[in-house]
Amino acid sequence: MISTKHELKEFLTADRVAMGFEKKSRLIELLKGNLDSVMLLNHMIFLRKYEYFLSKGKRKSFFYKLRYLYYKHTYARKKLKSNLFISPNVFDKGLCLVHPGYVWIDRSSRIGKNCTVLPRVLLGKKHPGIPAPCIFIGDNCYIGTGATILGPIRIGNNVTIAAGAVVVKDVPDNCIVAGNPAKIVKYKE
């Protein structure tokens, strides 16, 4: 949860670096014609600012509540426009969205640092009665196109989930999983 302006700046910097914007500006990318990458970065900026004002929204100040409502409304519009349905306070620093496309990650998930997510990814519960959070994904994970992860589940650090994999069982650290249902195909060294 982002609770200070310093943490907000750290999260935004880590997300920019993960998405390849460490020294590039959005204007230069727009002039090059990279509209998709700029749209994804703008989506991430509004997500992180919404998370910050969500934690600050309980303050009594009228202006904080007004800014919270602005970011909440704008982020809701951006979710519909971009098809990126990511709940707030799910990802840690360094989230990288590679391509635009449908992504559904609900609030039952907790995902570590430096995670890469491709389009058509679904993270959710197996049954509606399971208490949240029930999906835990470690640091430095890569989730391929079309992957489905159903909780309750724990996925370790440095895990690669192949395209189209359906993960329903726990996954240890440093491995690659693929298939339906997903099985370990290789251990990383």
For position 175, what pLDDT does the model report? 96
For residue 6, being part of any structural domain is answered with: yes
Whether residues 112 and 74 share a domain: the answer is no
For position 123, what pLDDT does the model report? 95
Peptide bond into 181 cis (omega under 30): yes
Whether residues 107 and 189 share a domain: the answer is yes
- Secondary structure of residue 58 in the 3-state scheme: coil
What is the pLDDT tens value at each position of the chain, 189 positions in all? Answer: 788 899 999 999 999 889 888 766 766 766 676 778 888 888 999 999 999 988 876 666 888 888 888 999 999 999 998 899 999 999 999 999 988 899 999 888 999 999 999 999 999 998 888 887 899 999 999 999 999 999 899 999 999 999 999 999 999 999 999 999 999 999 987
For position 50, what pLDDT does the model report? 92
Based on the residue annotation, tell me whether 127 is a catalytic residue of this protein. yes
For position 130, what pLDDT does the model report? 84
Whether residues 136 and 57 share a domain: the answer is no
The whole-angstrom separation of Cα 160 and Cα 65 is 40
Whether residues 106 and 172 share a domain: the answer is yes
Beta strands in 114-178 (DSSP E): 116-117, 121-125, 135-137, 142-143, 148-151, 153-155, 160-161, 166-167, 175-178
pTM: 0.89
- Domain with 113 in it: what CATH number? 2.160.10.10
For position 55, what pLDDT does the model report? 84
Whether residues 181 and 112 share a domain: the answer is yes
Whether residues 75 and 142 share a domain: the answer is no
For residue 184, being part of any structural domain is answered with: yes
Helices within 19-143 (DSSP H only): 26-32, 35-56, 62-82
For residue 90, being part of any structural domain is answered with: no
Structure letter (DSSP) for residue 30: H
Q: Where in the sequence is the domain holding 116, given as residue range(s)?
A: 102-189
Residues 6, 43, 99, 127: which is the catalytic one? 127
Whether residues 9 and 70 share a domain: the answer is yes
